[in-house]
Chains A and B, each alone.
Chain A
Amino acid sequence: GIQVEQSPPDLILQEGANSTLRCNFSDSVNNLQWFHQNPWGQLINLFYIPSGTKQNGRLSATTVATERYSLLYISSSQTTDSGVYFCAVDSGTYKYIFGTGTRLKVLA
């Protein structure tokens, strides 16, 4: 099955800094999503981005499907951005495979 790797596993930033999170996947995918898991465990949708580039405020994402990776950019980070960021992919079986996540801590 598809393997999903996220890097870095952990990231500590000062408030206001920018960061890039990466998601590599081992096979072609039909769907790719980025999520932010809040402290209470809920997965919050950030982007649904099987290909191309999208932006939402301080966050943007790019997926290069032919090279099997996706990037999540966070600019001017805030303490509320802290949490775990997951990438999840689906090869068309409607069975999403999640990466192990990037744990982000933003310091005030």
Chain B
Amino acid sequence: KAGVTQTPRYLIKTRGQQVTLSCSPISGHRSVSWYQQTPGQGLQFLFEYFSETQRNKGNFPGRFSGRQFSNSRSEMNVSTLELGDSALYLCASSPSPNTGELFFGEGSRLTVL
């Protein structure tokens, strides 16, 4: 069974640009959540989606947004990039929110210059 797939794995952007990251969950998993990891702030929750609905959102500005498609794939978008958005963005999937256990992808490493 394939794991959680995140694309792209690495990307470099400049300040002011926007970026879209993609996450394909494990087959059969319908809940997708996103986390940001930085050296200064550690691992922080961004948002969680289930059945194409955002169920929970972390404490991030509105420049961070996401969505989930009917096939459970999810995308997150960061607009007007800032240097501080440089981070490893991790996506996790679980069968449903009630199941609890998360399985993570390899992450997308974003560098903002």
Which of A's residues lie within 8 Å of B, judged by CB? 30-31, 33, 35, 40-45, 48, 50, 86, 88, 90, 93-98, 100-101
Contact of A41 among B45, B48, B58, B109 (CB under 8 A): B109
Residues of B within 8 A of A96 (CB): 33, 35, 45, 102
One of A30, A31, A35, A101 near B42 (C-beta < 8 A): A101
Q: Does B106 interact with chain A (Cβ within 8 Å)?
A: yes
Q: Chain B's interface: helix, strand, loop or mixed, by majority? A: strand
**Are A93 and B107 within 8 A (Cβ)?**
no
Name A86's closest neighbour in chain B (CB-CB). B43
Residues B58 and A95 in contact, CB atoms below 8 Å apart: yes
CA distance A4 to B85 in the complex (A): 24
Residues of chain A lying within 8 A (CB to CB) of residue B63: none
Q: Residues on B close to A: CB < 8 A?
A: 31, 33, 35, 37, 42-45, 48, 55-56, 58, 88, 90, 92, 97, 100-107, 109
Residues of A contacting B35 with CB < 8 Å?
96, 98
Please state if B103 and A45 are interface contacts (CB–CB under 8 Å): yes
Residue of B45, B100, B109 touching A48 (CB-CB under 8 A): B100
Chosen A-B contacts, 29 in total, with CB atoms closer than 8 Å, are A31-B100, A33-B101, A33-B102, A35-B104, A40-B106, A41-B37, A41-B88, A41-B90, A42-B104, A42-B105, A42-B107, A43-B92, A44-B104, A48-B101, A50-B100, A88-B102, A90-B100, A94-B31, A94-B33, A94-B48, A94-B55, A94-B56, A95-B45, A95-B56, A96-B45, A98-B42, A98-B43, A100-B42, A101-B42
